[in-house]
Amino acid sequence: MWNLTPLTLISAFACLAALGVLAPFAWLSGQRRSMPGAWSYIFLALALAWWSGFTALEHAAVDTDAKLFFSAVQYPGITSAPVFFFLMALEYSRASQFLSQRLKKFWPLLGIIPAITTLLALTNSRHGLIWREVTRSGDFMIYHHGLLFWVGAVYTYLLMVSGIIILLWSARSLPRYYRTPSYLIVIGVSIPIASNLIYLLGLSLPGLSDADSTPISSLLSCFFLIWAIFYRISLDEGPAAPFLVESRFSKKHYQKILNLLPNAILLVEPPGKIILVNEVCEKLFGYTFHELAGQSIELLLPNHAIAARAIASDDHDLQSLDVEEALACRKDGSQFPAELFFGWLEIDDERSFLLSIRDVSRRNKTLKRLQLQSAALESSASGIAITDIDGNITWVNPAFTTMTGYTQSEVVGQNPRLLKSGMHTPEFYEQMWRTILEGQVWQGETYNRRKDGSVYVEEQTIAPVRSSDKELTHFVATKRDISHRIQLEELRDQLTHTIVHDLRNPLTSILAGLDLLDYWSQQLNLPEEPIEIVQITRSSAWRMLGLVNTILDLSRLEKGQLPIKPEPLVLATLTEQICRVESPLAVRREILLLNDVPFDLPIVYADQHLIGRVLQNLIDNALKFTPDGKSVEIKAHVADENSRQVIVSVRDSGKGIQEEIRHRLFEKYFTQGKQRGAGLGLAFCRMAVEAHGGKIWVESAADPGEKSGATFLFSLPLGNPGSPEN
């Protein structure tokens, strides 16, 4: 049985009114138009219709169980309406455009609490979490709400209040006539909020002491929502929208056409009043469509007198203006260089000024960068040549002309083969082209012929250039004349060869004589002073022979002529042998020589003689720079499973090494401090380690001090260098 009461009829009318909100949206759809937040507005109306409809059924029902059922079924509308209102407020106010796309993906999470509340309401008879007790007073049901109901209520009010704040805040920046729809929506939503709050606080309206008056207020709410929609439509249709051109064609079609253009487009009527902008203009300047309506063009171009003068003049004989560049001003006050295109446009016998604005910040930065790069290339001391994919020269710099003798006009369009000296085989050039056509950088030394016929040696690097779609388009060759350096190196090698070979034979004879003299001086029981002089001379001769051998080995290593004889090597055994050799010096200075190289390290394939000399040089240097009574520590470990390398380290207890000289330690003839030496030991270590495919480096504290120390480390590859793994 059903009981028709005044509240039943009011709730039913509220349901119909909520459905009536859909009518203007249907009309807008027929006109192929839309309104910001339209879909959220529609779902809000449907939620209110659902809520009001089942409220009417609750009041009409006579049976208590039926009333409880219809009360529970109301919750999908009750809980979803605040969510749709909040989303509508974000979209209607255009605040959503300031949110990132990543953040918008989390919008569905707003429905989690409403969904849980609805599910609990539909199953309340099992747990009583939404209402723990229900009593009946005449035709009304009195609900004693549970804890989770209040959680949902607080969440509902947070969404509603947030939406109202967003609408009111955004209305401040709208033109006066566009604020009214926002205010009507706020009033329409505030009425049921206030009514429901009165009910939840235990207060009542006259004549409704036990009833929730929210359905009654919903009828008023729907009235204001419908009013707001029609008011908004009237603004878009009537003279209150100064940003729209009067003709029907302009309103429907010009805006769509302008939105497809890549530049910011403004339609300005004399004397400079903005009447139409496209979406690109909104994004470029940061103003909304409504903020620019009716404003002066000087808001965007404050210092551009040409545009203002042309618009103000209303010269009907002027069809277009030249392209101009000016500083444009965004809403946040920032300025950017803009390229302007001017022209008059006639619409329905009314002339307006069409202004196209393009942000050229990126273009100007690119041009500036290209100018700097061009200046750098022009002034470079190295010769630079750019060729196309076929090898035809397109550009050379002045240094190229100085190096080759050919001017730019003589070589542009030519192939670099005009520089060929004939001293390289065809296979040499085939390998070069194969490398660069594979997109790799080629480096090497080439013998070329100048315009005057003389041959020179150049150090050349050829780098490929790719387009945006990864296709090879050009090659850039950087050239440096190293003829003088090659001559000096050849002279140095000849001098080194002469010195070394001329010194080794006499030194060998001197050492043989000193060894014999040392033997007979001891056999003849000569005084200690002559014997000591002989031993010092003998030691110096051996040191000199070692220096000669080091110079010879360095020369061979540089040329790749020193034979490397890799063999299975146990680093722990080799380190132990070197420590025995260095131990007398360590004992004499009371330095603790710690050999912490484990015997379970993997086998290293290396030249035992060369690596032994590397270890001896590093340990000898560590002993030199370690104060008496301190320690020198030798360690080794496997770097990691993937690198297949062993790291060997020698750490001293000295003062450390200053950062500014660390990069020079492995240069030939470089020495540090007051320690005596030729500066060849570390250079030899570097070349010997690199010849094995490893590297050497030094680590020290950033601020060297008394206790910082320095650690020299070098790496050696594991396994047989001839195996497939290496």
Are 639 and 647 contacting, i.e. CB atoms less than 8 angstroms apart? Answer: yes
257 or 163, which is more confident: 163
Q: What is the pLDDT of residues 611-623, one digit of tens each?
A: 988 998 899 889 9
Residue 449 has pLDDT above 90, yes or no: yes
Q: What is the pLDDT of residues 524-581, one digit of tens each?
A: 677 777 777 777 776 777 767 666 777 767 666 666 666 778 889 999 999 999 898 8
Reply yes or no: is the peptide bond before residue 271 cis, omega within 30 of 0: yes
- First-to-last alpha carbon distance for the chain, in angstroms, is 92
Residue 590 has pLDDT above 80, yes or no: yes
Residue 461 has pLDDT above 90, yes or no: yes
CB contact burial 508-530 (16+ within 10 A = b; e otherwise): eebbeebeebeeebeeeeeeeee
Length in residues, the chain? 726
Residue 574 to residue 599: CA distance in whole angstroms: 11
Question: Which tokens go with 471?
Answer: 């296709």
What integer pLDDT is reported at residue 704 of this predicted model? 61
Report residue 5's pLDDT band, with 50, 70 and 90 as the boundaries.
confident
What integer pLDDT is reported at residue 100 of this predicted model? 66
What integer pLDDT is reported at residue 619 of this predicted model? 92
Half-sphere exposure (CA, 13 Å, Cβ side) for 724? 0
Q: What is the pLDDT of residues 390-408, one digit of tens each?
A: 999 999 999 999 999 999 9
Helix (H, G, I), strand (E, B) or coil at 691: helix
Residue 283 to residue 200: CA distance in whole angstroms: 45
Are 620 and 684 contacting, i.e. CB atoms less than 8 angstroms apart? Answer: no
Cβ contacts of 277 within 8 Å, gap of 6 or more: 243, 258, 264, 265, 266, 267, 289, 292
> Measuring CA to CA, how many Å separate 548 from each of 227, 495, 506, 541?
103, 13, 12, 10
Q: What is the pLDDT of residues 502-519, one digit of tens each?
A: 666 677 777 777 777 777
Residue 241 has pLDDT above 50, yes or no: no
Question: Which tokens go with 11?
Answer: 């709730």
Residue 347 to residue 255: CA distance in whole angstroms: 13
Its sign, for the CA torsion 449, 450, 456, 460, is negative
Q: Mean pLDDT, the chain, as a whole number?
A: 79
Q: What is the pLDDT of residues 669-715, one digit of tens each?
A: 677 655 555 667 788 888 888 888 899 999 987 666 556 789 999 99
Question: Which tokens go with 287?
Answer: 């103003």
Mean of the pLDDT values across residues 493-509?
69
Q: Which helix (H) or strand (E) holds 605?
A: strand 604-606
Integer-rounded Cα Rg, in Å, for the chain is 45
What integer pLDDT is reported at residue 169 of this predicted model? 81
What integer pLDDT is reported at residue 208 of this predicted model? 52
What integer pLDDT is reported at residue 239 of this predicted model? 36
Helix (H, G, I), strand (E, B) or coil at 589: coil
Report residue 325's pLDDT band, with 50, 70 and 90 as the boundaries.
confident
Closest CA to 392 of 413, 419, 377, 408: 413
Cβ contacts of 601 within 8 Å, gap of 6 or more: 570, 571, 572, 636, 637, 638, 646
Are 281 and 358 contacting, i.e. CB atoms less than 8 angstroms apart? Answer: no
Quickly tell me which residue has 């910011």 as its tokens.
Answer: 264
* C-beta atoms surrounding 581 within 10 Å: 13
Cβ contacts of 114 within 8 Å, gap of 6 or more: 79, 80, 82, 83, 152, 155
Residue 182 has pLDDT above 50, yes or no: yes
Report residue 240's pLDDT band, with 50, 70 and 90 as the boundaries.
very low
Report residue 246's pLDDT band, with 50, 70 and 90 as the boundaries.
very low
What integer pLDDT is reported at residue 616 of this predicted model? 87
Question: Which tokens go with 168?
Answer: 């009111």
What integer pLDDT is reported at residue 319 of this predicted model? 46
What integer pLDDT is reported at residue 250 of this predicted model? 43
Residue 448 has pLDDT above 70, yes or no: yes
- Note if the pTM is more than 0.85: no
Mean of the pLDDT values across residues 374-382?
84
94 or 177, which is more confident: 94
Helix (H, G, I), strand (E, B) or coil at 562: coil
Q: What is the pLDDT of residues 273-308, one digit of tens each?
A: 787 888 899 999 999 877 887 788 888 888 665 555
Report residue 726's pLDDT band, with 50, 70 and 90 as the boundaries.
very low
